Structure 1
Amino acid sequence: MSGPGKYDSLDSLDDSKYEWKIRVRVIRIWDSYSNKGQKEFKGRNMLLLDDKHQRMHAFIWPNYLDEFKNMFVEGNVYSIRNFSVKTYRKESLRCTRYDKQIWLSNYTKVFPVEDEQKMERAIRPVEFDFFDIADIGELVKQSDNNFLIDVIGILMDKEVLRRFKNQREVEQCSFRFTITDGSASIKCCFWDDMAEKFSAAIENENETPLIVIIASCKHNEYKEEPYVSNVAATRFYINHNHRSVLQMKQRASMPDFTYTPPTRAETPKTQIMTVAQLRKLDSKFNMNLVMCQVTVKSVEESKIWYFDACSSCGKEIEVVNGKYRCEECKRNIPFPEKRFRIYVIAEDLSGAAAFVVVDPEVENIIEKSVFDVLIDQSQEKQGSGFPSVLKLFEGNQYTFTIRLNGDNLDRASNTYFVTDISKGHEIMDNNVADEDSFSTGPMNVQFSDSASISIADFKTPDTEKSTNTNRLKRLSGDDVVLIASLSDDNDLAAGGVKEKESLTVKHVKKEKV
């Protein structure tokens, strides 16, 4: 055992004995839960730092947690005695590359170090083990990719905080941004509580540049592009008082260091347009969201009104060799989700257009899921025909929020994907688009009862199938998340529409006043 007043260093610990004595700062505390079922509590974790700048992971089993209830506070220094040292087995998401960890038990003694100033050697407030951003891509490909990493970079760009409900109807939020070290950049995504805290922190930070340290982040890749995200052990630091931040500032002042500082994100007001204005938009239009006040004239009955979706990524799946298969997740899906996708013709006084409406907007309007409708059909012995509840859209007024894509702006497609629906026409006048910039003059519009048009009369892209992903829901107020992927381009392709498929609506006759 160590002599009186002597402490063992973290790098000297092994499994040869139990009577160890260390003095460390607790720089991180987080809890572990199982990923299955009800998320069973698995134990409490701590990342320790000693005066030799060594870091080591410590663990407390749930049955011993009462022994240390409220004893440890993140950032404080403690003297810890009598504990075991274990060699890692197959644990993932490890904060350090050291192959051993500390296990505390009911025999362990813990004493707070009250006066740090009297310590012979001070323990730093925090310590990092940085990896070059350029090397993260190679780290992802390594077979032992079970370590968390620390990265540092200057904030380049950021998006607005997104709020949504996941497939299990649980509210979540995410915040995406990019950092650079001058030679490479990496995309980052924070989730839930950390997303909210990070979003608020950078909005309240006035110093430039914003230098971000992400400690113990998870590295992975999406579409063969590396990115980092947060886990329970992750912490972030903005313009922290650390030597690495000073070095990054010095590097940023060099002539060959270039980056574009982020601007404060402001959510633009969504512009209100008539259908005629909407159909005249081209690639020069610089907004991807617009709103239309329309009346739904018809719902197409000949098309399948729902699709099968992956229970993990939300993308449409197909039957391969008799089994539902998600090519994105590279696995079979035994019980796929079923999601609405209906096709409608809607019009206002200026014209008509085809719209594709998907979940969760359909479900929000009819207050039933696809499974509910299928059960109703079974109980009412309606067979597999088109559900009558979906015909309730017809004749009603709605405000559609539409996400414009390349087909609409570059290839003049007149089929639009609806990302949000509100009943009725509730529009602020100051958001309405300038009519003069889109139309040639006032019109008197009459609707004929005999004429009809098909979806082929609209310019429509030829797409294979739906690629809509996460089932996200609108919350209250201005906190809106569209039915869109968390992929890099956030494009929405909610459903495929074939040129030869037809919808029947009343024809619009236009007569100048």
Structure 2
Amino acid sequence: MEHNLLQDLAIARDDWLIKVRVVRFWEAFTPQNEKEPLYLEMILLDEKETPLHVRVRNNFISDFKHMLQEGHMYTIKNLKIAPANETYKPVKGKIMGWFLCTTSVTELLDYPQFIPRHYFEFASIQQLSERVEQKDILSDIIGTLDGFGNEEHVYVNGNPTRIRRLELILKENKKVRVTLWTTIADQFHNMWLSRMDGTSTIAITSTLVKKFRDEYSINSTSSTRIYFDYDIAQYANWAPNQHNKVKELPAQQNDSIENRMVRNRTNIRNIMAMKWEATTQEKVFTILATINDIDDTFGWSYIACHKCMKKLNKRGDQYMCPTCNEPAKYPTPRFKIQLEVSDETAAAKLTLFDRDAQQLLHTTASELLQHGSNKEIPPVLRNLCKQTLIFEIKLSDHNLKEGSQNYTVTRTFIPTSLIEEQSTHKSVQKDPISPQQISSDEEEEPLVFKKKKKQEAAKPRQSASNHQEENNGQDGITSIDEEQILIQTLRTPTSKRTRDGNGSTTRKRKRITRQIK
């Protein structure tokens, strides 16, 4: 019986007969369960060098896993063809294959047609730049290994997760950082221990591309496979011809959840005072702030493209993605919540996006919209008000260059007494402020924010300031507020203080208070 070429396969048939080589073979796991595979997956290649992504469902894995091996050739009968997934595709293409209970596999020991042993779709720097934060197609990369680190642990959704960091130099002599996760990190370690001397070229398949501080960051997925140069010698010309000694990368301890909670801790006033200096300036800070209200002027959600997560535009009965420049097949509601927050120094607006909103609310935007509309704030959203959280904020050029005071939240944390003690201790020793300081003739007191109940219960004190037009009147100061002022006093340089007759320290500046209603 004559076999079919992969380029001729079409949807709506489940009896295709093909002769192919398995050029890539792996088990796909979910982050929540690394023990039980979700699928058995492979890339098949025929004599025309046409690739095909094929899956075996988990209930059939035991039937087929022992029959297949990467690098071997097979005749596969009764293969079903279906539309390819819209996201996380390991190879380009509009179709994919599925094994059925009726599928049969026979190894080809003598096949006259040449089929390459490997298949890659290596991405250039230009392609990587186009795929930042994109999830439709995964990226294969190849480069010279410049360095790697030991196994580390980071926290993902509160759970410790194994990672290993690499640095590769690509063909364009551009260095990229690679993070290998969980089992892929183990795979690299085992392969490195058994490597041949002189190993320098490394290929990493099916990765996701991000950009952090103007540098590309490559992340492995459950579909990732790693190949050293002795496996892929024919692709060596894809990597720069460098043979420097591979260096050891230091661990990045700041990625632990505890360190992220106090990373570059500052306050809202300092954040608002920052100005653009250079592309290398620090742009990620944390603040401790209280949510006072939710601004629903533009709603609390948006309809997103399932590929790039950008906002869709509705045209007639269709949703169009301006980034992908095509109709969205699966428009998805996602959170975009405008929070009004304040600390003891100032008030600001923060934008909370889908991931962190889901973690805080324990629900999705789709579920909430089933019982309401985007024009009304659901009670579960209102419950965020009065909560005090640690917000990790990433400043953009929109903030630093254009002066926008609406800031993007990249992570939220629930504060603990131990973490806040560490933060206070670090603040007393070294104020983690900004690249840009507030300049004035006289150092200002922190702006003390009061809740209405505290104002009514506390004894009012007179406030005097050079800014009486902006801040006139009275406000109550509780013992907590006095403690905050004491902390600020300790942070004041000695040159700004004077000594009284008993040797105690007082401050030569005036208090500025502001009421938040």
What TM-score does the superposition give when structure 2 sets the normalisation length? 0.49
Higher helix share: 2
Structure of greater relative contact order (alpha carbons < 8 Å, 6+ residues apart): 1
TM-score by length of 1: 0.50
